[in-house]
Structure 1
Amino acid sequence: MRAVQVTEFGGPEVLTPAELPDPVAGPGQVLVEVDHSGVNYADTHQAENSYLAASRLPFVPGGEVVGRTPDSGRVVALLGEGGGYAERAVVAEAMALPVPDGVDDLHALAMIAQGTTAWLLLRKNAHLEPGETVVVHAAAGGVGSLAVQLAKAWGAGRVIATASSEEKRALALELGADVAVDSRAENMTDILREANGGNRVDIVLDMVGGTTTDQSVAALAPFGRLAFYGMAGREQPKPVKLPSLLRHSTAISGMWLPHALRLPGNVFGTALTELFDLVRAGELRAIAGGEYALAEARAAHEALRSRRTIGKLLLNPRA
């Protein structure tokens, strides 16, 4: 089969088209004929071995696929150890989830990881309450564009979006954000408070890191919450001293999607079902960020790392 393989760690240049043997499903697994693979920012970390879970060479990157099983069932699946950038992928049966009618490939892949991430950040980390102010960093991205919509649908009093270009800020406003500010602002603390009428903010969803995180923490209101779920800027925030949280009774939490799969009560499945229902009702939409041929995976990663992209990126292994 055709696939993309990584044989040495590094940037986008290590993504190499290859011909590999077809994977074989073992006990508790199912073979999926891949129609599209999802591309996530986490994949860029996996390629350079800077992700939370260490990679082992050689490997096929990609953590999500949509396609068909041998019985012609249409499924979307998460892959625990990669393998998605290929014409065929083996996935755990428990993670091959049916795609309902009315949900296309774009929306299936956008919801399986990025949609559930936005759902969990707002529900489990931030515990959004009606009327609260929510800041969504990288609001035109895969998670951010969905988080803006969900926050408004779930009663946020004000959604403040940050993005790096006029085009991205316009998109965030179109999706329901009340205010959109430049993510390149020199003092994010002041910008966020100004966007909130001079007041501190209740919730920040942050996947940027560095000074963006530091200054967002400083913008939190009493009992404000910052949910940290990535470090796209590849810059560590300053360490937070616990006594400093007492000044405004603030909270900082982290979120890594695999942990949601361990929660009792099938929280992940509940989130995905609710997201699919919103998509089918026309109340939630994924933004198409571009479709790349399998051999163009390098270009997809270059676009992600340069922060030029919006929405959800797809790989087409048939192209």
Structure 2
Amino acid sequence: MRAIQITEFGGPEVLQQVELPDPVPGPGEVLIDVSRAGLNYADTHQAENSYLSSYTVPLVPGGEVVGTTADGRRVVALTPGTGGYAEKAVAPTLTTFDVPEGVDDLTALSLIVQGATAWLLLRKSAHLEAGESVVVHAAAGGVGTIAVQLAKLWGAGRVIATASSDDKRKLALDLGADVAIDSRSTDMTADLIEANGGRRVDIVLDMTGGATTDQSIVALAPFGRLAFYGMASRERPKAIELGNLLSHSTTVAGMWLPHALRVRDAAHGTLAHRAMAELFQLVLEGKVKAIPGGEYGMGEIRQAHEDLRSRRTQGKLLLDPSR
């Protein structure tokens, strides 16, 4: 089968197109003929070996696929952290979800990582209450586009989006954000408070790190919550200090998606299964939509990673392993 493999860690230059034997599923696993694989910002960390999980080479990157099983089921799945950038992939049955009729490949892949992340950030990490203000950083990205929609749907009083271009800010507004500001602001604290009508904000969803995180924390109202799920700037924030949190009644929550597969849910099996069930239903009801961000062939994978790292993308990016 065709696949993308790395044999050393680094930037986009380490991604190589190769021929590999088909993977063989073990107990509790399923083999999937991949129609599309998802491309995520986290994949750029995986290629560098700078993410929360550590990897060894050689490896096939990619953590999410949609396709067909040997018995004809159409499924979307999380692979065991690797293996997604290929014509065939193996995934645990626990992280494999049947795709309802009426849900296309783009939408299925938009939901399994980005959609579930947005759901968890708002439901479990930030505990959104009706009427609260919500800041969505990187609002034109995969998580951001769905988070804007969910926050509005679930009763946020004001949704404040940040994005780096006019086109991205317009997209966030089209999806329901009340106001969109430039993410390249040199005084994010002041801009967020101004965007909220002169009031400090209640919730911030942040995957940027560095100064953006520091200035967002300062913009929080008492009992405000910042839900942190990534560090795209690759710069560590400095304001997360216990004295600062105590003096302003601030909550900072971290969120890593794999934990949702370990937390049990009485009605759905795991928290991730509950999130996916609700998200599929919202899509079928026309209340949430996926935003296409572009599709790449195997020969374009380096360009895909360069685009991700440069923050030029918006919406959901896909890899077509057939070309």
How far the C-alpha of 1:248 sits from its partner, in A, is: 1.9
How far the C-alpha of 1:145 sits from its partner, in A, is: 0.5
How far the C-alpha of 1:12 sits from its partner, in A, is: 0.7
* 1:172 partner SS: helix
Q: Is the 8 A contact 1:31 1:89 kept in 2?
A: yes
Aligned partner letter, 1:188: M
Deviation track 1:79-107 (CA, whole Å, cap 9, x = no partner) reads 12310000000111222210000100000
* 1:313 partner SS: strand
- Tell me the TM-score normalised to structure 1 length: 0.99
Q: Give distance in 2, aligned partners of 1:38 and 1:81.
A: 12
* 1:3 partner SS: strand
Q: Are 1:278 and 2:282 counterparts? A: yes
* 2:314 partner SS: coil
Q: Give distance in 2, aligned partners of 1:241 and 1:267.
A: 30
How far the C-alpha of 1:8 sits from its partner, in A, is: 0.5
**Aligned equivalent of 2:302:** 298
Aligned partner letter, 1:139: A
Aligned partner letter, 2:125: N
How far the C-alpha of 1:129 sits from its partner, in A, is: 0.1
Q: Is the 8 A contact 1:145 1:172 kept in 2?
A: yes
Identity %: 68
* Structure 2: 5+ residue stretches without partners: none
Q: Give distance in 2, aligned partners of 1:131 and 1:55.
A: 42
Q: Are 1:315 and 2:319 counterparts? A: yes
Q: Is the 8 A contact 2:217 2:239 kept in 1?
A: no
Q: Is the 8 A contact 1:4 1:295 kept in 2?
A: no
The root-mean-square deviation of aligned C-alpha atoms, in Å, is: 0.7
Q: Is the 8 A contact 1:260 1:268 kept in 2?
A: yes
**Aligned equivalent of 1:171:** 171
**Aligned equivalent of 1:61:** 61
Q: Give distance in 1, aligned partners of 2:251 and 2:81.
A: 32
**Aligned equivalent of 1:229:** 229
**Pairwise mapping of residues 197-236 of structure 1 onto structure 2 (< 5 A)?**
197-236=197-236
**Aligned equivalent of 1:268:** 272
Worse-matched range after superposition: 235-244 or 299-308: 235-244
* 1:221 partner SS: strand
Aligned partner letter, 2:273: G
* 1:226 partner SS: strand
Deviation track 1:81-138 (CA, whole Å, cap 9, x = no partner) reads 3100000001112222100001000000000010000000000000000000000000
Q: Give distance in 1, aligned partners of 2:163 and 2:7.
A: 34
Q: Is the 8 A contact 2:37 2:65 kept in 1?
A: yes
**Pairwise mapping of residues 176-187 of structure 1 onto structure 2 (< 5 A)?**
176-187=176-187
Aligned partner letter, 2:89: A
Q: Is the 8 A contact 2:77 2:112 kept in 1?
A: yes
Q: Give distance in 1, aligned partners of 2:312 and 2:280.
A: 27
Count of paired positions:
319
Q: Give distance in 2, aligned partners of 1:7 and 1:96.
A: 28
* 2:135 partner SS: strand
* 1:114 partner SS: helix
Q: Give distance in 1, aligned partners of 2:239 and 2:23.
A: 43
* 1:246 partner SS: helix
Q: Give distance in 2, aligned partners of 1:12 and 1:316.
A: 18
Q: Give distance in 2, aligned partners of 1:142 and 1:78.
A: 16
**Pairwise mapping of residues 139-158 of structure 1 onto structure 2 (< 5 A)?**
139-158=139-158
Deviation track 1:245-279 (CA, whole Å, cap 9, x = no partner) reads 12221100100000111111121111101101111
Q: Give distance in 2, aligned partners of 1:92 and 1:54.
A: 19
* 2:264 partner SS: coil
Worse-matched range after superposition: 75-84 or 236-245: 236-245
How far the C-alpha of 1:295 sits from its partner, in A, is: 2.0
Q: Which segments of structure 1 move beyond 4 Å, counting only runs of 4 or more?
A: none
* Structure 1: 5+ residue stretches without partners: none
**Pairwise mapping of residues 235-250 of structure 1 onto structure 2 (< 5 A)?**
235-238=235-238, 240-250=240-250
Q: Give distance in 1, aligned partners of 2:146 and 2:94.
A: 25
Q: Are 1:188 and 2:188 counterparts? A: yes
